[in-house]
C-alpha cells in the first residue's frame, strides 16, 4: 500500500463512518475506491470527495444532490461546480432559516405548555 491511500478501516476511522456507509457511498457512486482483489483503497481523490460529502451532509444536502454536484466537476469543470454550489447554498440557506423559525416556534409553544402544566401542579 502506498502512503497516500487509506484502507477501508482507515477511511472509517478518518471520517468516523461505518464500513456499511462507505460501501453504500460506493454503491450510489459517490466514491470509487481502488480495488485490489476484495480490498478497497481510498486515494487522495476519494478522501477529498469524502470531505465534501461530509460537509454537504452537515449543511443538509441530500446524497443525491451531493452526487449530482460532484458529477458537475467531472463533466464541466470547477467553474460550473462553483456556480452550482452557490445556487445550492442559497437554496439550502433559505431552507435552514425556515427550519430555524419553525424550531423557534416549537420551542416557544413547548415552553408555554410546560409553564401552564407546571402551574397546574401547584
Q: What is the pLDDT of residue 62?
A: 95
Structure-block grid coordinates of residue 6? 487509506
Q: What is the pLDDT of residue 110?
A: 98
φ and ψ at 7, to 5 degrees? -75, 170
Mean pLDDT of the chain: 94
Q: What is the pLDDT of residue 73?
A: 87
Residue 43: pLDDT above 70? yes
Q: What is the pLDDT of residue 74?
A: 86
Q: What is the pLDDT of residues 58-113, one digit of tens each?
A: 999 999 999 999 999 888 989 999 999 999 999 999 999 999 999 999 999 999 99
Q: What is the pLDDT of residue 1?
A: 47
Model's pTM, two decimal places?
Answer: 0.81
Nearest 5°: CA angle at 105, between 99 and 109?
A: 145
Amino acid at each position: 500500500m502506498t502512503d497516500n491511500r487509506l484502507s477501508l478501516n482507515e477511511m472509517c476511522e478518518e471520517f468516523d463512518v461505518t464500513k456499511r456507509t462507505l460501501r453504500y457511498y460506493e454503491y450510489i457512486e459517490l466514491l470509487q475506491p481502488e480495488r485490489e482483489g476484495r480490498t478497497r483503497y481510498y486515494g487522495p481523490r476519494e478522501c477529498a470527495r469524502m470531505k465534501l460529502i461530509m460537509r454537504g451532509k452537515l449543511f443538509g444536502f441530500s446524497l443525491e444532490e451531493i452526487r449530482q454536484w460532484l458529477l458537475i466537476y467531472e463533466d464541466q469543470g470547477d467553474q460550473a461546480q462553483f456556480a452550482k454550489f452557490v445556487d445550492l447554498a442559497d437554496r439550502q440557506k433559505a431552507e435552514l432559516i425556515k427550519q430555524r423559525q419553525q424550531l423557534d416556534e416549537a420551542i416557544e409553544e413547548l415552553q408555554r405548555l410546560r409553564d401552564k402544566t407546571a402551574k397546574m401542579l401547584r
